[in-house]
Amino acid sequence: MNDDRTGDEQAGDEGADPSHRRPDGVSDATVEALGTLSEALETVERARGSLYAFHQLTGGADLKLDEALEQLRRGGHDAQADLLEREIMGRNVIPGRWTFQIVEEYNAHYYQPFTEIESRIRGELLDGRQHVYEAEMKEARRTHGHPGHTAHP
């Protein structure tokens, strides 16, 4: 059998997956802009993760107060336990809000609109394709034909 494919193609290394290829007619400036927008969204995702960590850590600290209250009372420090229970346990972290409310407001007011607009712009300018900038960077930086540098798994 005559196989006219190059070594890269024979190894399943034909270049970027079509879902990551630049649509016809899309400029470098557009790909770069969408790469920057993707990076901004990734940063928002990290910020959101930190917000959830804040939520869980604060909630865990509040629940740990039960143990501290019990220990204070067991040690005969009822006045201090009462102060802690009255002033800190269950306290709002900002006026009128627990952390779950901050998370909900962040999601509704910032995160959801950000992800929807990013998706809309990507849909309009890159046919909805994700990580085109990064896929092109991978193609430019990898060593074709090297088993550790294949385009596809």
CA separation, residue 17 to residues 2, 91, 103 (Å): 25, 51, 36
Query: For residues 138 and 153, what is the distance between their CA atoms, to the nearest angstrom?
Result: 13
Average pLDDT over residues 81-102: 97
CA separation, residue 111 to residues 45, 52, 102, 104, 118 (Å): 8, 13, 12, 10, 11
Average pLDDT over residues 80-96: 97
pTM for the predicted model, two decimal places = 0.81
pLDDT in tens, 96-149: 999 999 999 999 999 999 999 999 999 999 999 999 999 888 888 999 989 998
Query: For residues 11 and 90, what is the distance between their CA atoms, to the nearest angstrom?
Result: 60
Instruction: Kindly state the tokens that stand for 137.
Output: 């960077």
